[in-house]
């Protein structure tokens, strides 16, 4: 009798053990199942999130088909019975197809919530994840999409269907916090010849465009940076603030771009607490992949925990920033430049010969963004209906605009183009038009769309349409025609 009981007990324990293994195995990501030796394809991404959706009532997936048959899944993770007053967080990954670790980490994060139903984080957070923004580039392991467009340089023009989906999800989700996951490549030839290279598992970047909320920029610097640094070091990962510059060539170091055509600045210019994660890429797609994915995954968890701890600060900061966007602004900085700080940067680099970190004191460190030129925003812009390229851009941008049912007020102005000047801002050679503003009265409302400069996208509209803005539409080849004649065709309605 004892033998039978022992057998039954042993069988019961074995059943529980096998059952637990099966339950855990069903949440293994395709990458983990492949032993971190093969990247996840788009079809596998779709099938995996479907499985997680089926296993958890807290997960809902929407699928956006692309013209080539691939799909972009958008995963919402939310607990319906909790308070509606939750912080909305949007995470996106793999805008660049050859930067896969963020996508793999997002699948791991989705699996985490699928098997941890009722997690504390969901009490105060609604999370939306786009795990793979660039399925075509991902399957090909190429940076750009199938049309050759760099998605993270397309958030102003929105030429790619993938970018349009990202921006649509952003508008519909209306997040207060966004995180964009990328990878940087530390193995370039110049660094190898220099004998040192960057060796940070994770770099974290915040907003740099000075038209964004100073309160949110300070929240990143003062609170988010040290929080994530401590969090990652607990797990043995190295960390630094996202820093750009060709150091081996002696170029200045700065904290990324002020251009609103990338995801982070594009979201941030709307009063959103917006961040970028730059994990360390491998020498090839699978080199060091397990560590790369784990560091991105822990960064995502750390940022969600940060959002939980600093929920009130984030929410109130975003509310204040967006309230300001509803009010008339005195000025918008249309030309900005990273300038040198007071203190040199202590920059730890990995010695290729000694395999140890060496700290460089970098004098050419330019962390401070300053205004070079600004403009007073108008009440509205008038976009000519006969300009099909411009109208097409307006319609895909998601901005509010009115048709002919409006009255043009006195005080309508047009820029006269008097010449062009060569420029070199942010180390990029270019040119800007020289303009004079003249009042016009022979404006027929039916010939124009009226675009009010008010609300969430007000600053973005100004930066896109002012002809002397350093990253405005005319700075792109397809819109150079706007400043090639004597008159700039977009009009301004002023008070």
Interval 436-490: pLDDT, tens: 999 998 999 999 999 999 999 999 999 999 999 999 999 999 999 999 999 999 9
Beta bridge partners of 205: 276
pLDDT, tens digit, 9 for 90 and up, residues 423-433: 999 988 999 99
For residue 2, the model assigns a pLDDT of 37
Q: Say if residues 242 and 205 touch (Cβ distance below 8 Å).
A: yes
Q: Say what the pLDDT of residue 26 is.
A: 67
Q: Can you give the residue range of the structural domain that contains 182?
A: 29-335
Verify that 64 and 200 share a domain, yes or no.
yes
Convert the pLDDT of each residue in 230-266 to its tens digit.
999 999 999 999 999 999 998 999 999 999 999 999 9
Residues 7, 28: Cα–Cα separation, whole Å: 31
The answer as to whether 363 is a domain residue is: no
pLDDT at 119: 86
**3-state secondary structure (DSSP) of residue 311:** helix
pLDDT at 407 over 90: no
| 151 and 202 belong to one structural domain | yes
The answer, yes or no, to whether residue 319 has pLDDT greater than 80, is: yes
Q: Is residue 361 part of a domain?
A: no
Q: Is residue 18 one of the residues assigned to a domain?
A: no
Q: Is 70 exceeded by the pLDDT of residue 196? A: yes
180 DSSP β-pair partners: 92, 276
Last residue of a domain, one of 273, 308, 335: 335
In a domain, 399, yes or no: yes
Read off the pLDDT band of 25 (50, 70, 90).
low
Q: Is the pLDDT of residue 214 over 60?
A: yes
Q: Taking 80 as the threshold, does the pLDDT of residue 379 lie above it?
A: yes
DSSP 38-59: SPPPHHHHHHHHHHHHHH-TTE
- Residue 343 forms part of a structural domain: no
Residues 143 and 244 in one domain: yes
Stretch 411-423: mean pLDDT: 97
The answer to whether residue 22 scores a pLDDT higher than 50 is no
Domain count, the chain: 2
**How far, CA to CA in Å, does 377 sit from each of 230, 278, 423, 436, 494?**
42, 34, 23, 16, 8
Q: How confident is the model at residue 326 (pLDDT cuts 50, 70, 90)?
A: very high
| Segment 159-165 mean pLDDT | 98
- 127 and 34 in one domain? yes
Residue where a domain terminates, one of 302, 335, 368: 335
| pLDDT of 223 above 90 | yes
Residue 488 lies in a domain: yes
Q: How confident is the model at residue 82 (pLDDT cuts 50, 70, 90)?
A: low
Q: Are 386 and 458 part of one and the same domain?
A: yes
What is residue 23's predicted lDDT score, i.e. its pLDDT?
42
- Give yes or no: residues 160 and 67 share one domain: yes
CATH number of residue 280's parent domain: 3.40.630.10
Together in a domain, 424 and 475: yes
352 within domain boundaries: no
Q: Which residues pair with 146 in a beta bridge?
A: none
Domain boundary pick from 273, 303, 335:
335
Closest CA to 175 of 238, 115, 87: 87
Q: 326 and 420, same structural domain? A: no
Q: Are residues 324 and 383 in the same domain?
A: no
Residues 70 and 207 in one domain: yes
pLDDT at 337: 96
Average pLDDT, the chain: 93
Same domain, 403 and 278: no
Give the per-residue pLDDT at 27. Answer: 84
Question: Any residues with CB less than 8 A from the CB of 335 and at least 6 apart, and which?
Answer: 371, 372, 373, 374, 425, 432, 468, 469, 470
255 inside domain = yes
Q: Are residues 271 and 200 in the same domain?
A: yes
């Amino acid at each position: 009798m004892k033998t039978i009981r022992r057998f039954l007990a042993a069988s019961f324990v074995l059943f529980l053990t096998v059952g637990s293994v099966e339950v855990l195995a069903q949440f293994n990501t395709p990458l983990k199942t492949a032993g971190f030796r093969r990247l996840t394809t788009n079809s596998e991404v779709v099938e995996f999130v479907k499985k997680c959706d089926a296993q958890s009532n807290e997960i809902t997936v929407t699928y956006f088909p692309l013209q080539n048959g691939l799909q972009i899944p958008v995963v919402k993770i939310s607990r319906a019975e909790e308070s509606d007053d939750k912080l909305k967080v949007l995470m996106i990954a793999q805008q660049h197809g050859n930067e896969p670790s963020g996508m793999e980490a997002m699948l791991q994060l989705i699996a985490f919530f699928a098997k941890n139903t009722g997690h504390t984080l969901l009490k105060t957070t609604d999370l939306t994840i786009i795990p793979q923004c660039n399925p075509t580039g991902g399957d090909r392991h190429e940076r750009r999409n199938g049309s050759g467009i760099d998605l993270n340089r397309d958030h102003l023009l929105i030429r790619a269907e993938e970018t349009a989906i990202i921006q649509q999800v952003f508008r519909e989700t209306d997040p207060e916090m966004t995180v964009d996951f990328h990878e940087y490549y530390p193995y370039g030839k110049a660094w190898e010849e220099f004998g040192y290279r960057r060796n940070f598992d994770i770099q974290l970047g915040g907003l740099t465009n000075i038209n964004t909320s100073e309160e949110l920029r300070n929240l990143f610097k003062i609170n988010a940076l040290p929080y994530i640094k401590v969090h990652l070091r607990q797990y043995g990962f190295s960390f630094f603030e996202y820093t750009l510059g060709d150091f081996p060539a002696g170029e200045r170091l700065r904290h990324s771009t002020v251009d609103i055509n990338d995801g982070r600045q594009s979201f941030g210019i709307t009063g959103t607490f917006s961040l970028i994660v730059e994990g360390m890429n491998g020498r090839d797609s699978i080199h060091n992949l397990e560590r790369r994915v784990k560091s991105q995954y822990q960064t995502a968890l750390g940022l969600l925990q940060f959002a939980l701890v600093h929920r009130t600060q984030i929410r109130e900061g975003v509310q204040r920033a967006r309230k300001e966007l509803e009010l008339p602004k005195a000025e918008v900085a249309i030309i900005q430049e990273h300038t040198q700080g007071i203190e040199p940067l202590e920059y730890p680099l990995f010695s290729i010969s000694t395999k140890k970190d060496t700290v460089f004191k970098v004098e050419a460190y330019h962390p401070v963004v300053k205004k070079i030129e600004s403009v007073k925003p108008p009440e509205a812009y008038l976009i000519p209906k006969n300009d099909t390229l411009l109208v097409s851009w307006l319609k895909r941008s998601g901005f509010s605009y009115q048709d002919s049912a409006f009255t043009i007020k006195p005080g309508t102005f047009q820029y006269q183009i008097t010449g062009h000047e060569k420029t070199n801002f942010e180390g990029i050679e270019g040119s800007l038009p020289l303009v004079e503003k003249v009042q016009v009265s022979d404006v027929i409302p039916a010939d124009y769309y009226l675009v009010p400069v008010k609300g969430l996208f007000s600053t973005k509209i100004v930066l896109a349409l002012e002809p002397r803005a350093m990253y405005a539409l005319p700075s792109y080849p397809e819109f150079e025609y706007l400043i090639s004649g004597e008159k700039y065709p977009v009009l301004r309605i002023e008070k």
